[in-house]
Structure 1
Amino acid sequence: MPYHHQKRIYIPTNARSNQYILAEIRVTDELLGGYDDVQDAYRQLSQTVFSLADKQEIHNIQIIANDKLPVVRFHTEAYSFETAEQIRFFYNPAYHEAQNLFATAGHRARKLRLVFLATGSELRSNSATFHAKVQYFMDSLLPLLPATGLAVKIRDHQHLSYDFFTKAKGNKETYGYKLRAIDKRYQARGCQLPQEHSALNYVTVSLPLSRKLKQRILPEGMTDFTPLYQYLEDKFLSAASTKQLSRLAMVANGLTPIVRNSKFETLESTAELQMIGFDPNATEQQFSRHWQGDKLAEAAHFAIVAGPKDCDDGGYGRFMNQVEEALRSFANEIDMDKEHEDLILRFHQHISYRR
């Protein structure tokens, strides 16, 4: 492939783009001290937040005051549902707008999480403008709160998602992306980020464990699923190694995989969340395995993390081309039916800093 083409990745035109920004405010006694009780504090604080959002034309903002983790996905219908540890938001950025407070009676949150869901069209092109808008919002909000010196952490999450087999299903049209790091994109558009910030870029892949796949690998009636998981792990690692992809994970234990930078984040898995830590600057092989032979999961999830050499100008295009070539080999090795099965790929870009 010519070098200039390596800098671009050709993604289906029906790919979905998402962006949400998480502003985390540590809850202190001073923040809650001026109210009758915790629930009253959350209600009044949310009114302050929503009123300011209306004035500054931020159209979709959610407040999480029960320490649950937000998970954001595209959907043609807008809805959210809570589990014990997560709040999953489904929406279409083109036309869904909302303001909601999520709190649990009697629970004092460790952090208030403000979730800013990007709205409109061309989210990736407008991501710097949206980020600057959230920065201005937070600068305007903090003086309105009944506490001083509040610590705030900003996390900007962006991803492109698509079915890797969409072309086999008849959608031949693609668009060429020259993927760039968030900080470089923002700098070019006049959105300033602190010099001290953490970035992580990676791909996740979701593979449903179909009946056909299980029947091909497992003897009938077998309740030890180790051969299935080991088969998928071996094929995945083999395909990745041919493209020099060395920061890898496989999760097939029924938990939601969450990828974090192990240098900056405290990693603690829970009953619902499988935390996976990577140091993107480390040069040695990193592989994280999370499956149990006595438990059958509905899907296997794989993660491939970008390294330092992928972060230069146009580097993510080369990285994504390597990922796609590895996945093409992996899908062929496990004999997937491209016309009838899905292999959902998401390219994630995260950046975080304290403000």
Structure 2
Amino acid sequence: MSVEEHGLSHVIFVANNRLVRVRYSGEQQVLHTEQQSFFFYCPEHNSTFKGYFDGAIRVRKIKILFLATGQELKVNSAKFHNKVYQAIKDISTAIGLAENEIKLRDHQHLTFDIFAKDKGGANTLSHTFREIADRYESQRQSISSAHTSITYVIASIPMARRLLKGADIDYLSDEPFTKLYQKIESAFNKSCQVNKIDQAALLANGVSPFVRYDENEVANVSGELIYIGVNPNNAETRFCVHWEADKLVDTLRFVFFADKSDETHHNYGKFVNQAIAAVIEFSDEVDWKKESDDIIVRVHQHIMLNV
């Protein structure tokens, strides 16, 4: 098999019409919902070759998921990308596809609790943010100039009981949570304004966001998912807010989008710090218990090119 010949040890074949999600976990497992497949793994000690499909169903597209393994993921990311690229070239040739028929997406994300230090965590993380292709160039691995790239930050905020305190909630009303969400939206807007963030979304409708490069910047809710199209070449101010006054969600999600200027080497870290500062500003507004409750932040970097 091509993947083994290229030294790839964690590869999954997916043909089930579901959105693929990858998350870190010490225990390797796979969970499926109606529209999503979650793959949990630890890069340091998990690896597998497996397929998820129903031979009786013709799917819209086939996905091959390559998961990085080892301890130094960032240091070795360019080499890993090159192995995947070469494996995909071999697969394309073997099944007789024309050039550029396969889309190769390189997804990387860094996940952390922004209040880990408040809980007594002694270790701090030093991370230099650079656009993926730029970082690969520094590692002597060139990426096609025809690639597209997006960067965004998602903060997941549990609907803790303290968020409900101070909000006028009439449980006999058809829309009992209107004032709660207005309070949350006001705090969100203030946190963005204070930290000079002008491209962001507030999602409090129980759907899970997935972000893709899209010059038309389409946003679409479908079942348990919301698709958000992002064009980093558009630097105009834009905000997206979704909440439903009759539904109390388990988790609030803030999404902060980088434009092209944010992806430059000098501004990348600034963008991430602005997003983190906005979440901290929001937490101060709602009296968050930093020493006990988490707010998980994921910094996402994507590139896409045709193979």
TM-score of the superposed pair, with normalisation by structure 1: 0.82
- Unmatched 5+ stretches in structure 2: none
Instruction: Name the structure 1 match of 2:138.
Output: 188
Instruction: Name the structure 2 match of 1:52.
Output: 2
- Following the alignment from structure 2 to structure 1, what is the Cα–Cα distance between the partners of residues 53 and 217? 25
Instruction: Name the structure 2 match of 1:234.
Output: 186
Residues 203 and 254, structure 2, Cα contact 8 Å, conserved in 1 = yes
1:340 maps to which of 271, 280, 292: 292
Instruction: Name the structure 2 match of 1:63.
Output: 13
Instruction: Name the structure 2 match of 1:354.
Output: 306
Do structure 1's residue 325 and structure 2's residue 277 form an aligned pair? yes
Instruction: Name the structure 1 match of 2:65.
Output: 115
Q: Secondary structure at the match of 2:27?
A: coil
Instruction: Output one character per residue of 1:149-189: Cα deviation in whole Å (capped at 9) or x when no partner.
Output: 57100111001110011001110321322211101111111
- Following the alignment from structure 2 to structure 1, what is the Cα–Cα distance between the partners of residues 110 and 100? 33
- Following the alignment from structure 2 to structure 1, what is the Cα–Cα distance between the partners of residues 247 and 59? 33
Opposite residue 77 of structure 1, the aligned amino acid is E
1:92 maps to which of 38, 42, 49: 42
Residue 309 of structure 1, CA deviation: 2.2
Instruction: Name the structure 1 match of 2:152.
Output: 202
- Are the structure 2 counterparts of residues 329 and 268 from structure 1 closer, same or farther at C-alpha, using a change threshold of 3 Å? closer
- Following the alignment from structure 2 to structure 1, what is the Cα–Cα distance between the partners of residues 150 and 36? 21
Residue 269 of structure 1, CA deviation: 2.9
- Following the alignment from structure 2 to structure 1, what is the Cα–Cα distance between the partners of residues 91 and 217? 26
Work out the number of aligned pairs and report it.
Answer: 305
- Following the alignment from structure 1 to structure 2, what is the Cα–Cα distance between the partners of residues 81 and 283? 37
Opposite residue 288 of structure 2, the aligned amino acid is M
Instruction: Name the structure 1 match of 2:77.
Output: 127
- Following the alignment from structure 2 to structure 1, what is the Cα–Cα distance between the partners of residues 216 and 30? 29
TM-score of the superposed pair, with normalisation by structure 2: 0.94
Residues 163 and 344, structure 1, Cα contact 8 Å, conserved in 2 = yes
Aligned ranges 1:1-16 → 2 under 5 Å: none
- Are the structure 2 counterparts of residues 226 and 347 from structure 1 closer, same or farther at C-alpha, using a change threshold of 3 Å? same
Do structure 1's residue 271 and structure 2's residue 223 form an aligned pair? yes
Residues 276 and 288, structure 1, Cα contact 8 Å, conserved in 2 = no
- Are the structure 2 counterparts of residues 266 and 68 from structure 1 closer, same or farther at C-alpha, using a change threshold of 3 Å? farther
Residues 247 and 278, structure 1, Cα contact 8 Å, conserved in 2 = no
Opposite residue 141 of structure 2, the aligned amino acid is C
Instruction: Name the structure 2 match of 1:145.
Output: 95
Do structure 1's residue 289 and structure 2's residue 271 form an aligned pair? no
Residues 206 and 343, structure 1, Cα contact 8 Å, conserved in 2 = yes
Instruction: Name the structure 2 match of 1:260.
Output: 212
- Following the alignment from structure 2 to structure 1, what is the Cα–Cα distance between the partners of residues 110 and 54? 32
- Following the alignment from structure 2 to structure 1, what is the Cα–Cα distance between the partners of residues 32 and 78? 30
Q: Secondary structure at the match of 1:125?
A: coil
Instruction: Name the structure 1 match of 2:262.
Output: 310
Residue 111 of structure 1, CA deviation: 1.3
Q: Secondary structure at the match of 1:282?
A: coil
- Following the alignment from structure 1 to structure 2, what is the Cα–Cα distance between the partners of residues 332 and 73? 28
Instruction: Name the structure 2 match of 1:15.
Output: none
- Following the alignment from structure 1 to structure 2, what is the Cα–Cα distance between the partners of residues 115 and 319? 29
Moved more, 290-299 or 308-317: 308-317
- Following the alignment from structure 1 to structure 2, what is the Cα–Cα distance between the partners of residues 325 and 151? 41
Do structure 1's residue 83 and structure 2's residue 22 form an aligned pair? no
- Following the alignment from structure 1 to structure 2, what is the Cα–Cα distance between the partners of residues 264 and 128? 30
Residue 147 of structure 1, CA deviation: 5.1
Opposite residue 54 of structure 2, the aligned amino acid is T
Opposite residue 189 of structure 1, the aligned amino acid is Q
Instruction: Output one character per residue of 1:298-327: Cα deviation in whole Å (capped at 9) or x when no partner.
Output: 011010011222122232111122222222
The sequence identity of aligned pairs, in percent, is 33
- Following the alignment from structure 2 to structure 1, what is the Cα–Cα distance between the partners of residues 189 and 21? 28
Q: Secondary structure at the match of 2:191?
A: helix
- Following the alignment from structure 2 to structure 1, what is the Cα–Cα distance between the partners of residues 237 and 219? 19
Instruction: Output one character per residue of 1:254-287: Cα deviation in whole Å (capped at 9) or x when no partner.
Output: 1111122231776543211111223222232111
Instruction: Name the structure 2 match of 1:280.
Output: 232
Residues 258 and 273, structure 1, Cα contact 8 Å, conserved in 2 = yes
What is the root-mean-square deviation in Å for CA atoms of aligned residues?
Answer: 1.8
Q: Secondary structure at the match of 2:134?
A: helix
Opposite residue 276 of structure 2, the aligned amino acid is E
- Unmatched 5+ stretches in structure 1: 1-50
Residue 348 of structure 1, CA deviation: 0.6
